[in-house]
Amino acid sequence: MNDKVEDSLNRKVAITRREHFNAAHRLHNPDWTEEKNKKVFGKCNNPNYHGHNYELEVKVIGYVQPETGYVIDTKILSDVIKDQITGRFDHKNLNLDVAEFKNLNPTAENIAMVTYDILREHLDQKLELKIKLYETPRNYVEFPL
Amino acid sequence: MNDKVEDSLNRKVAITRREHFNAAHRLHNPDWTEEKNKKVFGKCNNPNYHGHNYELEVKVIGYVQPETGYVIDTKILSDVIKDQITGRFDHKNLNLDVAEFKNLNPTAENIAMVTYDILREHLDQKLELKIKLYETPRNYVEFPL
Amino acid sequence: MNDKVEDSLNRKVAITRREHFNAAHRLHNPDWTEEKNKKVFGKCNNPNYHGHNYELEVKVIGYVQPETGYVIDTKILSDVIKDQITGRFDHKNLNLDVAEFKNLNPTAENIAMVTYDILREHLDQKLELKIKLYETPRNYVEFPL
Amino acid sequence: MNDKVEDSLNRKVAITRREHFNAAHRLHNPDWTEEKNKKVFGKCNNPNYHGHNYELEVKVIGYVQPETGYVIDTKILSDVIKDQITGRFDHKNLNLDVAEFKNLNPTAENIAMVTYDILREHLDQKLELKIKLYETPRNYVEFPL
Amino acid sequence: MNDKVEDSLNRKVAITRREHFNAAHRLHNPDWTEEKNKKVFGKCNNPNYHGHNYELEVKVIGYVQPETGYVIDTKILSDVIKDQITGRFDHKNLNLDVAEFKNLNPTAENIAMVTYDILREHLDQKLELKIKLYETPRNYVEFPL
Amino acid sequence: MNDKVEDSLNRKVAITRREHFNAAHRLHNPDWTEEKNKKVFGKCNNPNYHGHNYELEVKVIGYVQPETGYVIDTKILSDVIKDQITGRFDHKNLNLDVAEFKNLNPTAENIAMVTYDILREHLDQKLELKIKLYETPRNYVEFPL
C-alpha cells in the first residue's frame, strides 16, 4: 500500500451505475373525478396507458477500499439493481404489475423515491445512496438531494 | 443564381427530421395460444402492456430547390410528422388506441411500415421517403431500404 | 393517501427539464482595444459572430405534492421556460437582439445567470431553482451551486 | 499476409470521421422581398443571424490496404477535414466570412454539397466520399446518396 | 392476417441491434521495422497496448414474418452476438487473446470484417447482414456496403 | 460594468470541460494470489489487459470575472487538461506506462483521485475543482464530492 492508497482511506468517492427498463404507466388520482384527472394529468392520464424507456442511475458514495481501489464493485451494484428494481419493473405496467404503485401514482418523483427505499435496504449502511431517473431524455428527477 | 446553385438542380440530397413519441404496446398474435404467445414474445407479451420512448427519423430525398436551398422545409416536414404520426401515437396505447394496430402486431417493424404508408400519402410523390424507428437506444428498424 | 405518499411530504425531490435554443453571439469587452479583445477572446471575438445549439437544463427542487406525485408539472415548467427564455433567445443574435446582453458579455456563465434571474421571478418562491447550460456537448456551466 | 488479409483486397469498407464546428448563419434570398424572405425562412431569416454547433461526418469508402488494415488513416482524414473545412468554418459567420456562401444560401443542404466539392479535390479519386451534416441533433442532411 | 400483414410479405425491413465490448489492442505490422511501425501507426503502435469501448451494431435485413411481425427476434440476434462476438472479445486483448487477430492487424476495418465473417455463419442465409463498429464516438466503420 | 456584471462578483458559477482519452488497464492487487485476484476482479483481471474510451469532465468553480464574463477561459482549462492528463494517459497502458499507477490499481476511483491531485497543483487555489470520469457510458465516478 503506497501513500496514495493510504490517503484514499480518508477520501469519499461517488460511483454511479446506469441501468434501464421499459414500462407502461398512467398518472391518475382515484380520489378525483375523471374530469379533474384529465385536467391535471392531461395526456398522461390516458386510461389505456402509455410508456417510457426509463434510464436509472444509482450513485453510491463511500470511502475507496485500499485493497481493491473500489467504493463498491459495479458488478455487485448492477446485480442488486437488476434483482431489486429493473428485474421487477422492466416490461411491466407499473400501475397494475408492481405492488409499490397499487396505491401510489407512478410519477417519476414517486418511482425515484420507491427505488431509493428498496435499494437502501440492500446496501451497506456505510454507503450513501442517490437516485437519478430519466423518464425521457428531456425529463429527469433526483432523490435524495 | 450562381454556378453552384444551378449545379444543385441535378444533385439529390437527403434531409432527415427526428421526432419522438411515448407509447405503450404489447406483442401478441390472437391466432396463437397464450402459451405460444408467451414462448415467442416473452416479456413483450405482458397482457398489461409495457412501453417505450420511440425516436422516429423521417428521411426525405430530392433535388435542392435553387430559390431556397432546401429539399423540403424541415418546419413543414416536422408539422406533417406531428399531424399524421406523433400527434396520433404519443401517450397512447398502440394496441388499443391506434386504429392501424387493431389487427396488426405493433412490432417496431410494423410501426415503421405503417408510418411509411401514412406519410407517403402526405408528401409530394417526387420526394423519396425512408423511415428509421428507434424502439430503444439499442434497437432500431429501417424501411424501406 | 398511503404511508408512502404521506412520507413524501417531508422529502425533497429535484426535477429537471431540458430545452434548447440556437443563437449567434460574440464575446467582446467594449472597454478594451480590439487588440486586447482578440488576445483574450480569440476566435470567439469574431466581429461577424458565430453560434451554438444551446441545451438548457432547468432544475426545480421542492416537496412532492401528495395529490399529484409532482414537484411541479413539467408541462407547466416547460411552458415557463419557453415563454421567458427559449422563445426570446432562439434564432436570435444574443448581443444585438436580447436586451439583457446589450451591456453584458454573452458568455455561458452570464447567460446562465441571466436565465436564473428571469426564471426566479416566474416560479413559486418555495421551489429552489438551478440552471445548467451546455454551450457545446463538451462545455457547460452551472448556477447557482 | 494471411488468407483473411488477402481476402480484404476485394472488400470495400467505409470509414467515417466525425468533426464539429460552431458557426453563425442566416437564410436569405437576395432576389426576394423582405416580406417573402420572412414568410419562407421564418425565424431563420433573422437579419442579425443565429447559429449552430454543426457536427460533420465524412465517410470514405475503399479497399482495405493489407499492409495497414486501413482504408485511410483517420488521422490523415481528420487533418484534411480540419485544413479544408472546420478550420475555415469554425467560429465564423458563414454568410459573411466564408467565400463559398457569398452568393449561396447556407442551408444544411448547401453546406453539405460545398463540403463535398472541397473535400473531393483533396482525396484520392479511388476513394468514394459521402457527407453527413447535423445542423441540430434533430436535423441532418446527407450528400451524395 | 389482414391486408397490411400480407403486404409485408413483399417488404424488406432492416433491424439493428447494438451491443458493446471493451478491449485492448495495438496496431502493428510484423513485416515492418519498429521505426516504420511507429511512423505509420503513431501512438496506436504503443507496444504496451491501449484500448476502447467498442459499440457494435449488427443490422439484419429480411422480410417481416406475418405471424410475428418480426424480421428476427432481437433477443435471438442479441444472443448470437453475445455468444459469437462480444463474449469472446469483451475485456480481452485482441492481439493476444483472440485467435482471429493473431496474424491480422486489429484495425476497426479488420474487426468489422472478422465480425461479419463469424456472424454470417450463424444467421439464416435468407437474411442479409451488415456490420457497423464504433471504435470511438467519432470514428466508425461499416462492412459490407 | 453594469449592475448585472457587478452582481456577478458575488456569484459562484461552475464551468465544466469534457476531454477524452483511450487507454488499456488491468485491475490487480500484487499482494493477493492469482486466484483471489480472479475472484475479486473477474474479467477486469485479464493479464493481457483490456481498455476503455475514458471521458473526463473537469469542473472548475469560482467567481465570474467582470471584465471577461469567464470563471476561467475554457481554452486555458482544456490546455492544462491536455498537458497534464490526456496527453500523458491517451493511447497508453495505465499500469505500465503511467508512473502514478505503478503501485496503484487503476480503477476509475483511483484514476479520478490521481487526476484531481495532478490538476489541483496546476490551477489557481481560489478555484474549486471537481472530477467526473466515465469508464463506460454506464459507469462513472466523481471526486471530490
Q: Do E139 and D5 touch (CB under 8 A)?
A: no
Of residues F44, F109, F128, F142, which has the active-site annotation?
A: F44
Cell numbers of C95, please?
Answer: 448581443
For residue A127, the distance in angstroms to the closest alpha carbon of chain F comes to 14
Of residues D19, D44, D55, D57, which has the active-site annotation?
A: D44
Band of residue E1 on the pLDDT scale cut at 50, 70, 90 = very low
Quick: pLDDT tens for F93-112. Answer: 999 999 999 999 999 999 99
Output the pTM of the full model: 0.95
Of residues B44, B57, B100, B109, which has the active-site annotation?
A: B44
Of residues C117, C139, C143, nearest to F74 (C-beta):
C139
Residue E94 confidence (pLDDT): 98
Chain C touched by A69 (CB under 8 Å): no
Residue C97 confidence (pLDDT): 98
At D65 the three-state DSSP class reads strand
Of residues C19, C44, C57, C142, which has the active-site annotation?
A: C44
Report the pLDDT averaged over residues E37-56: 98
According to CATH, what is the number of the domain B3-25+51-143?
3.30.479.10
Q: How many CB pairs under 8 A join B and E?
A: 77
Q: Do E48 and F20 touch (CB under 8 A)?
A: no
Nearest CA among E50, A69, A1, A68 for reference residue F103? A1
Respond yes or no: is residue B122 known to be catalytic.
no
Nearest CA among B7, B43, F28 for reference residue A22? B43
Report the pLDDT averaged over residues C113-119: 98
Residue D4, pLDDT above cutoff 60: no
> CA torsion E3→E4→E7→E11, rounded to 10°?
180
Determine contact, residues A69/F101, Cβ cutoff 8 Å: no
Chain B CB contacts of E70 under 8 Å are 107, 109
E37 → chain D, closest CA residue: D68
Going from N- to C-terminal start, the domains of chain F cover 3-25+51-143
Respond yes or no: is residue A44 known to be catalytic.
yes
Residue C8, pLDDT above cutoff 90: no
Chain D CB contacts of B18 under 8 Å are 137-139
Report the pLDDT averaged over residues A75-103: 98
Please state, in angstroms and rounded to a whole number, the distance separating the CA atoms of residues F85 and F107. 16
> Got the DSSP string for F86-116?
IHHHTTEEHHHH-GGGSSS---HHHHHHHHH
Please state, in angstroms and rounded to a whole number, the distance separating the CA atoms of residues F23 and E50. 4
Q: Do F53 and E137 touch (CB under 8 A)?
A: yes
How much of chain D, in percent, has pLDDT values that exceed 90?
93
Determine contact, residues D59/D8, Cβ cutoff 8 Å: no
Quick: pLDDT tens for C77-93. Answer: 999 999 999 999 999 99
In degrees rounded to 5, what are phi and psi of residue E122?
Answer: -110, 10
F18 → chain C, closest CA residue: C138
Q: Do chains A and F touch (3 or more CB pairs under 8 A)?
A: yes
Quick: pLDDT tens for D109-130. Answer: 999 999 999 999 999 999 999 9
Q: Report the 10 Å Cβ neighbour count for C46.
A: 21
F139 → chain A, closest CA residue: A17
Please state, in angstroms and rounded to a whole number, the distance separating the CA atoms of residues C23 and C133. 13
Q: Do C5 and A142 touch (CB under 8 A)?
A: no
Residue D97, pLDDT above cutoff 80: yes
Of residues B19, B61, B69, nearest to D107 (C-beta):
B69
Band of residue B10 on the pLDDT scale cut at 50, 70, 90 = confident
Average pLDDT, chain E: 95
Strand partners, C131: C58, C143
Residue A3 confidence (pLDDT): 52
Neighboring chains of D (3 or more beta-carbon pairs < 8 A)? B, C, E
Please state, in angstroms and rounded to a whole number, the distance separating the CA atoms of residues F133 and F58. 9
Buried-state track C99-138, b at ≥16 Cβ within 10 A, e below 16: ebbeebbbbbbbbbbbbbeebeeebeeebebbbbbbbbeb
Distance of CA D91 to the CA centre of its chain: 16
**Running DSSP on this structure, what letter comes out for residue C72?**
S
* Preceding omega of E144 cis (within 30 degrees of 0): yes
How much of chain A, in percent, has pLDDT values that exceed 90?
93
Nearest CA among D1, D59, D57, D49 for reference residue D27? D49
Chain E CB contacts of D132 under 8 Å are none
Quick: pLDDT tens for B24-37. Answer: 999 999 999 999 99
Q: Do D107 and B18 touch (CB under 8 A)?
A: no
Q: Which of F39, F102, F110 to mutate to test the interface with A (most CBs of A within 10 A)?
A: F110
Q: Do chains E and A touch (3 or more CB pairs under 8 A)?
A: no
Chain B touched by A48 (CB under 8 Å): yes
Chain C CB contacts of D44 under 8 Å are 91
Quick: pLDDT tens for E48-72. Answer: 999 999 999 999 999 999 999 999 9
For B139, residues 6+ apart whose C-beta sits below 8 A from its C-beta are B108, E15, E16, E17, E18, E74
CA separation, residue B62 to residues A91, B10, B85, F14 (Å): 40, 10, 22, 46
Determine contact, residues C52/D22, Cβ cutoff 8 Å: yes
Residue B59, pLDDT above cutoff 60: yes
Q: Do D140 and B69 touch (CB under 8 A)?
A: no
D49 sits in the region (left: phi over 0; alpha: psi -120 to 50; else beta) called left
* Preceding omega of D66 cis (within 30 degrees of 0): no
Chain D CB contacts of C134 under 8 Å are none
Chain C touched by F69 (CB under 8 Å): yes
Q: Report the 10 Å Cβ neighbour count for F126.
A: 8
Chain A CB contacts of B46 under 8 Å are 91-93, 97
Band of residue D1 on the pLDDT scale cut at 50, 70, 90 = very low
Quick: pLDDT tens for B98-116. Answer: 999 999 999 999 999 999 9
**Running DSSP on this structure, what letter comes out for residue D46?**
-
Q: Do B49 and A24 touch (CB under 8 A)?
A: yes
Chain F touched by C84 (CB under 8 Å): no
Residue F3 confidence (pLDDT): 53
Band of residue A1 on the pLDDT scale cut at 50, 70, 90 = very low
Quick: pLDDT tens for A119-142. Answer: 999 999 999 999 999 999 999 999
Report the pLDDT averaged over residues C123-136: 98
C84 sits in the region (left: phi over 0; alpha: psi -120 to 50; else beta) called alpha
Chain C CB contacts of F75 under 8 Å are 42
Band of residue C4 on the pLDDT scale cut at 50, 70, 90 = low
Q: Do F51 and E51 touch (CB under 8 A)?
A: yes
Residue B7 confidence (pLDDT): 59
At F138 the three-state DSSP class reads coil
Of residues E44, E100, E128, E142, which has the active-site annotation?
A: E44
Least confident of A81-85, A111-115, B3-7, E71-75: B3-7
Least confident of B30-34, B88-92, B131-135, D3-7: D3-7
Residue E5, pLDDT above cutoff 70: no
Cell numbers of A53, please?
Answer: 424507456
Please state, in angstroms and rounded to a whole number, the distance separating the CA atoms of residues B27 and B16. 29
Determine contact, residues D39/D21, Cβ cutoff 8 Å: no
Mean pLDDT by 10 residues, chain F (145 residues): 55 97 98 98 98 98 97 98 98 98 98 98 98 98 98
Determine contact, residues A63/A71, Cβ cutoff 8 Å: yes
For residue D26, the distance in angstroms to the closest alpha carbon of chain C comes to 9
Residue C7 confidence (pLDDT): 59
Q: Report the 10 Å Cβ neighbour count for F93.
A: 24
Q: Report the 10 Å Cβ neighbour count for F58.
A: 24
Nearest CA among B40, B33, B29, B36 for reference residue B106? B29
Residues 24-43 in B contacting E (C-alpha not used; CB under 8 Å): 27, 29, 31-32, 40-42
Respond yes or no: is residue E57 known to be catalytic.
no
Report the pLDDT averaged over residues D10-27: 96
Please state, in angstroms and rounded to a whole number, the distance separating the CA atoms of residues D42 and D26. 11
